Structure 1
Amino acid sequence: MNTVSVREHARLTTGPVPGGSLDVASVPVSAFDWLCQEAQRYRTTGAPLVRIEGRHWLRLDNYVGVLETPCGTRIEILPKHVHGESDVASARRVLIRMLQVALHLPVRDSGPTVLQTFNAPVSEWIIQQFLKELDALVRRGLRFDYRPVEEETRFLRGRLLLARQLRQPAGRQHLFQIEHQVFEPDRPENRLIASALAKVAAATRDPENWRRAHELEHQLVELPRSRDIAGDFRRWSSDRLMSHYAAIRSWCELILGDRNPMSAMGQWTGRSLLFPMEKVFEAYVETCLQRMLPPDARLRTQAASHYLCRQGDRRLFQLRPDFLIEHENSVWVVDAKWKLLDAADTQNQYGLSQGDFYQLFAYGRRYLRGNGRLALVFPETCRFEKPLETFDLEDGMLLDVLPLDLESGRIREAGFFNHHLFCPPVNSAA
């Protein structure tokens, strides 16, 4: 199998390219043509996967993960988390850590040493963790359940269905209409596990994952597969007797495509697993903020209580900041942006977008009533290690641009952050 590792927004072509770069790569003609077809399909749904640049070049969008073409070419798309070149191992490590935190995945053996020695695409890491969790579940024991069965037999077993027995026609009195209980593993949780296992067994290309998946398939051969994935997830039991199933549910949801913690995130089509990087970073920031906030602070995501303007009785253009933090009498509006800044590039405003400032200004006018503090959170890089000087939006509104360390999940200058976040601004309102 041909595996190509690149970063988001990389360019793909069919001709020869210089090696060692994650921003330019060569793919087979069959994979190139298939990506062109997929570009059109994704464009109609409003989620561009690649952009066509002439007859010989494609540019990837902001999706990360693994994309596998019908010809067997596997394209691993990693986050562009540093300026200039980066190595595959560090980019893969950052993506795995962000997915683990953002999706609240219960990972076994997730220490730094394991991540550093893991040398396979992200999809193989997901398969590996699922198989580890399933192996632990099998060792502990699957949950069986009683299922009622009604049948006609030559012997009496269970409960005789008297009304149906009395209606037996002549010549069939020797047959019994009975109902009994069968103790079997056919329950929603096990059906979903069997479906997820079948999917990863067909998708994996890692020898160790392939071996473990097929060993587990032989052990669980009696488990039926789910015919209604969404319905079985709704019927997944969370009582005390099923507590040991809780960890594997996250992996089943991710593999079977039923998990949707945020808009358009995590779609596994065939053997492809893609995530919009902006959504991953937004979920990562949310989890990091939750860890940093005091217990009595409230973090609201995608607040939608205000609009930009009115026309008569109609309210127009809903304003939805990523995060709204409320603590005592203070309110802080926070937006997360997946973009690399350069603190030394004052000529180009550090790489900041004027549209983002307009957006935050509108949030401040409505959610803070024109007086308070706002923040933009960007990934930390070697060119952006400390908060920028505070931006004065006048009339009592101040905007901070803060770096988030992707390795530790901490916002730099935490004391600075907490000081401003929990000092109530004058005349602020919830």
Structure 2
Amino acid sequence: MASTEQGPLRTIELAEHETSHPLDLPEAVLETIDSKLNRSKHRLTYEYTADGQVRLRTSSYVGLVSLPEGTQVRIRPKAAGGNFLRLLLYAQGASSATIDSTVEALSGDLFLDAIGALFLERLEELIQRGLGKDYRTQESRESHLRGRLDVQRQLSRGDVVTTQFDVEYQELTHDTVPNQAVLYATHLLTQLVDEQSLQGSLRQREQQLRRDVTLRPVPLSELDAVHLDRRTQYYEDILRLAELVIQSTFVDNFRSGTRETYGMLVNMNRIFEATVERAACDALEGTAWTMDAQSRLDRLVTGGNPSINMYPDFVISDPNGNLELVGDAKWKTGRPSQSDIYQLTSYQLADDVPGLLLYPSQDGSVETEYRVDDRLPLHLRELPTGADVSNFSSFANRLSDVLKQELEAVGMNIS
């Protein structure tokens, strides 16, 4: 852990799941951590020492946090090497062209700027192609009948004679949830990025979007409910990035334009789960085998109330739909826990299939093999998240190639 002083800015650098040296932190910083950063999830915690100083304790959330009074905390993942941004964007479904054509620096201080540059390129493409439209129900009071008369609203006014009508009608508009999510993410990024020309370009596009789209905090639940069709499929890349920005970003006041308190923190547990899911899909591409993420297993524990549901991170089925493997992803460094193994073993016994427990890069230190009930293979393996590669394509191909080899090693013939 290192702390540096750079003029008024104090930077505290930590790895995930690390405790800092004792620090002198103002109460305003601690209050912000409590009220803003940990409002919904415990991303960064602290404890007092005997002499009144403070130790910060990180979790599985990594990224950048800028707090009041010139305090900045940078939290780096332990097992990504120089591939943090590659890993992040691979998990989001980005393509090699998306990354390598836009982002030259894939790690270090340009984390937020890299995300911003990537998003801006996708946004420019979206605007050039044209914002999508959809019909939305509108309510208004008009001097002539339009659409459908809202009888209940009309009668509730109590006017005996009126020349205005309460109507409800469908209007084709740009003010849709996908466009609102894109605008919201654009607004957040203008407050996150440091590079001035990038910030200016994002702000210019934000102002352009606000002519036709409402700026509001878009809940992830609304974004998850968006269904793209052939007409709107070109929104897929930018909505993936918008989801990343929205779920990972916090700012003190999203409309203010000030940056006293802001940051982007991503949960490496979820990122690694999504990475494994995509690597499995890539490994099975061109075959009749299928991968299902977070699939429920019902057969091991039955009866009782409440019911017991089990959800491995992924399951793989053969061309006939028979489940052939269960797998879990654990973003952990160090010795695997017995609870990890017991959990996957229960999944295996539920369906009488092999199991694969995946961890990030650790120089092979956690790789081993077990047998469950002396018949079902259980392999612990590492994916090359910290591999020294030259570009995103090499990184992505190595992940899927290694996973394909492991699937075949437990007896699956997916060629």
TM-score of the aligned structures, taking structure 1 as reference length: 0.68
Is 1:282 matched with 2:263?
Answer: no
Contact (CA 8 Å) 2:25, 2:54: kept in 1 or not? no
Distance, in Å, in 2 between the alignment partners of 1:278 and 1:232 is 23
Shift of 1:317: 4.5
Task: Write out per-residue CA displacement over residues 3-25 of structure 1, whole angstroms, 9 at most, x where no aligned residue.
Answer: 4443212323464xxxxxxxxxx
Is 1:305 matched with 2:297?
Answer: yes
Gap runs ≥5 in structure 2: 1-8, 253-261, 386-394
Distance, in Å, in 2 between the alignment partners of 1:365 and 1:405 is 28
Residues 121 and 78 (structure 1), Cα distance of their counterparts in 2 relative to 1, 3 Å cut: farther
One-letter amino acid matched to 1:373: P
Is 1:9 matched with 2:14?
Answer: no
Is 1:96 matched with 2:91?
Answer: no
Shift of 1:68: 2.7
Aligned positions, number: 368
Which of 327, 331, 353 aligns to 1:334? It is 327
Which of 63, 66, 71 aligns to 2:64? It is 66
Residues 287 and 28 (structure 1), Cα distance of their counterparts in 2 relative to 1, 3 Å cut: same
Tell me the secondary structure at the aligned position of residue 331 of structure 2: coil
Distance, in Å, in 1 between the alignment partners of 2:112 and 2:228 is 27
Task: Write out per-residue CA displacement over residues 360-408 of structure 1, whole angstroms, 9 at most, x where no aligned residue.
Answer: 332222221xxx42221111233549x43x2233431222111211243
Task: Write out per-residue CA displacement over residues 218-249 of structure 1, whole angstroms, 9 at most, x where no aligned residue.
Answer: 44452342457359758967455444444322
The aligned residue for residue 123 of structure 1 is 112
Is 1:323 matched with 2:314?
Answer: yes
Distance, in Å, in 1 between the alignment partners of 2:179 and 2:102 is 33
What is the RMSD computed on CA atoms of the aligned residues? 4.4
Alignment of 1:234-313 (within 5 A): 238-257=228-247, 266=248, 268=250, 270=252, 271-293=262-284, 295-306=287-298, 309=301, 313=304
The aligned residue for residue 380 of structure 1 is 361
One-letter amino acid matched to 2:342: Y
Residues 378 and 104 (structure 1), Cα distance of their counterparts in 2 relative to 1, 3 Å cut: same
Shift of 1:330: 6.0
Residues 194 and 285 (structure 1), Cα distance of their counterparts in 2 relative to 1, 3 Å cut: closer
Residues 421 and 123 (structure 1), Cα distance of their counterparts in 2 relative to 1, 3 Å cut: farther
Task: Write out per-residue CA displacement over residues 67-101 of structure 1, whole angstroms, 9 at most, x where no aligned residue.
Answer: 2324453322221017xxxxxxx44xx22112212
**Could you say which structure has the larger radius of gyration?**
1
Residues 359 and 98 (structure 1), Cα distance of their counterparts in 2 relative to 1, 3 Å cut: same
The aligned residue for residue 422 of structure 1 is 412
Distance, in Å, in 1 between the alignment partners of 2:29 and 2:160 is 67
Residues 145 and 115 (structure 1), Cα distance of their counterparts in 2 relative to 1, 3 Å cut: same
Distance, in Å, in 1 between the alignment partners of 2:75 and 2:238 is 26
Is 1:353 matched with 2:337?
Answer: yes
One-letter amino acid matched to 1:7: A
One-letter amino acid matched to 1:293: L
Distance, in Å, in 2 between the alignment partners of 1:417 and 1:104 is 21
Is 1:137 matched with 2:137?
Answer: no
Is 1:210 matched with 2:199?
Answer: yes
Distance, in Å, in 1 between the alignment partners of 2:167 and 2:306 is 64
One-letter amino acid matched to 1:10: E
Gap runs ≥5 in structure 1: 16-26, 83-89, 258-265, 342-350, 425-430
Please say which of residues 395-404 and 47-56 is displaced more in the overlay: 47-56
Is 1:81 matched with 2:74?
Answer: no
One-letter amino acid matched to 1:374: G
One-letter amino acid matched to 2:349: R
Distance, in Å, in 1 between the alignment partners of 2:181 and 2:299 is 42
Contact (CA 8 Å) 2:283, 2:403: kept in 1 or not? no
TM-score of the aligned structures, taking structure 2 as reference length: 0.70
Distance, in Å, in 2 between the alignment partners of 1:219 and 1:244 is 20
Residues 11 and 404 (structure 1), Cα distance of their counterparts in 2 relative to 1, 3 Å cut: same
Distance, in Å, in 2 between the alignment partners of 1:396 and 1:315 is 32
Distance, in Å, in 1 between the alignment partners of 2:58 and 2:208 is 41
Task: Write out per-residue CA displacement over residues 321-359 of structure 1, whole angstroms, 9 at most, x where no aligned residue.
Answer: 222222255622212122235xxxxxxxxx222222222
Tell me the secondary structure at the aligned position of residue 306 of structure 1: coil
Please say which of residues 60-69 and 319-328 is displaced more in the overlay: 319-328
Shift of 1:60: 0.9
One-letter amino acid matched to 1:6: L
Distance, in Å, in 2 between the alignment partners of 1:319 and 1:188 is 33
Distance, in Å, in 2 between the alignment partners of 1:121 and 1:97 is 13
The aligned residue for residue 376 of structure 2 is 397
One-letter amino acid matched to 2:196: P
Tell me which of the two structures has the higher relative contact order, counting C-alpha pairs closer than 8 angstroms and 6 or more residues apart: 2
Residues 415 and 291 (structure 1), Cα distance of their counterparts in 2 relative to 1, 3 Å cut: same
